[in-house]
Amino acid sequence: MRKTFAASAFAWLVSALAVAGILLAAPPAGATGGSAKPPKPNPVIFVHGGSGSGAQFESQAMRFTSNGYPSSHIAVLEYNSSAIGTILPEVLTRLDALIAELKASTGAAQVDLMGHSLGTTVSHAFLATPERAANVAHYVNIDGRTAASPPGGVPTLALWAGAVNRPTPPLIIGATNVTIADQEHVQVATSEESFFEMYLFLQGRAPFTTRVFPQLLPEISGRVTAFPQNTGLDGATLEVWWVDGRTGKRIGHRPWKTFEIGPDGNFGPFRVLYGLSYELAVLRDGAVSINYFYEPFIRSDHLVRLNVADGLSPFIAASDNHVALTVVRFKEFWGDRGAANDVLSIDGTDVINPTTAPSGTVGTASVSFFLFDVGSDGVNNLNTIPFPFGPLGFLTAADLFIPAQPPGTVAVETVPRGDFAAKRKVNVPNTPSTQGRVVIQLNDFEQ
């Protein structure tokens, strides 16, 4: 038995290496022209928006490294967006320190700054000081503040979401203004089309590819944080499990990796194998586990964010009989666009509709979908959004009874924006909500 297993594992690995060799050697299917010659980049710093984190730059970071940027040249500034009115001076000081650190570590004379939504307010305040603006070579303003001139006189690209209902077209006068058609407020920060414009603006030429280029052994690291404060979840333990992608069940009797989380929230790095499935479980004394399931990692990713929303826990019903499931995708869910609607099917029940997933205004369209049995009554109600999720920006919820019958499986199927060719499925255990909460992180890209 042992010899047979070893031979099968070896054969599988050889096959995987061959496939990965083809993937890594061939030009990506999404190549858009330009040259594969490595750029000479400035470091890039991303400043997120309200209720955000560095995770909104996750896909773009992988696209930048797919085009020759070293991962050491990409950084994010994270802060408590709910308190920005009182902590802005501290945030600007931290941005000073991050720029100084990147200039020292990379030898660059300047950095390129990007702000999204509320992050553009932070960025405009930073660039208003000439001494600070002198450290910035380029600025990318993503669906946020308008201005009568480029902030701080820095060359500026202003990206705008074309699907958001605004009375007048937004502009930064004197900047390169680009509206990305049919995209929402968060999507315009994460999309391929936006990356193309970012790269073209920073490098003066088209990227080699707008896709996320696969690697055989991606390196993963990130943070375990409190939402929305972005503070490290000090004292937590992170377990990394290899799981069977067909069922979501753990393979083996002990975690593959374990990390003790400190005040900074950092974990990793560790290597994964392209195409395999993993569970990242956050454990704390006196609290149910939060079990995160990602689609298989395909490229090194240092912006993994395991955000724990303790403030929402009292509103999520818990029972031995049902599962509490959250699905996150940093591209808004659409339920009122007809043929362009998303499908989010939980064991065959599509929870997307005009009530649960409206679009059209900033903050109304949602990127996080909470699904649980309101009142623990075993009855579904997809015609209202449970309190308090309706008024909360970028969050939505539905009353859905997902039976918990371990060791069963919950099948989550997604069809992004009505594109059935991009349909895919994530399978997770049907863990009772009294024991743990299940979070699925969907890619915000298809390839």
CB 317 within 8 A of CB 374: yes
Give which of 253, 302, 250, 319 is closest to 280, Cα–Cα. 250
Structure tokens at 74: 């990409």
The residue count of the chain comes to 447
Q: Give the contacts of 175 (CB within 8 A, at least 6 positions apart).
A: 141, 147, 150, 156, 157, 158
Q: Tell me the C-alpha to C-alpha distance, in Å, between residue 207 and each of 65, 156, 194, 443.
A: 11, 19, 12, 21
**3 state DSSP class of 225:** strand
Question: Average model confidence (pLDDT) for the chain?
Answer: 91
Q: Tens of pLDDT along 272-330?
A: 999 999 999 999 999 999 999 999 999 999 999 999 999 999 999 999 999 999 999 99
Residue ranges of the domains in the chain?
A: 37-203, 219-441
The CATH code of the domain at 219-441 is 2.60.40.2200
Structure tokens at 179: 């509206």
Q: Band of the pLDDT at 25, cuts 50, 70, 90? A: very low
Is the pLDDT at 257 greater than 70? The verdict is yes
Q: Band of the pLDDT at 15, cuts 50, 70, 90? A: very low
pLDDT of the residue at 358: 92
CB 311 within 8 A of CB 382: no
pLDDT of the residue at 363: 67
For residues 210 and 64, give the distance between their C-alpha atoms in angstroms, rounded to a whole number.
Answer: 9
The amino acid at 433: S
Q: Tens of pLDDT along 106-165?
A: 999 999 999 999 999 999 999 999 999 999 999 999 999 999 999 999 999 999 999 888
pLDDT of the residue at 269: 98
What does 425-446 look like in DSSP terms, one character per residue? EEEEE---TTTEEEEEE--SS-
Q: What are the residues facing 282 on neighbouring strands?
A: 238, 290
Structure tokens at 385: 């959004």
Q: Tens of pLDDT along 35-82?
A: 445 568 999 999 999 999 999 999 999 999 999 999 999 999 999 999
Hey, what's the torsion of the CAs at 116, 118, 121, 124, to 10 degrees? -10
Structure tokens at 123: 């960025």
Helices (H), 129-191: 130-133, 187-190
For residues 230 and 81, give the distance between their C-alpha atoms in angstroms, rounded to a whole number.
Answer: 9
CB 425 within 8 A of CB 415: no
pLDDT of the residue at 252: 95
For residues 370 and 360, give the distance between their C-alpha atoms in angstroms, rounded to a whole number.
Answer: 20
> 318 or 3: whose pLDDT is higher?
318
Structure tokens at 281: 């479980």
What residue has token string 């680009």? 178
Averaged pLDDT, 183-206? 97
CATH topology of domain 37-203: Rossmann fold (3.40.50)
Where does 19-148 show beta strands of DSSP type E? 44-47, 74-77, 111-116, 136-142
Q: What are the residues facing 113 on neighbouring strands?
A: 45, 139
pLDDT of the residue at 361: 75
Is the pLDDT at 355 greater than 60? The verdict is yes
Give which of 328, 334, 326, 313 is closest to 417, Cα–Cα. 334
Judged by average pLDDT, the poorest of 69-83, 262-276, 348-362 is: 348-362
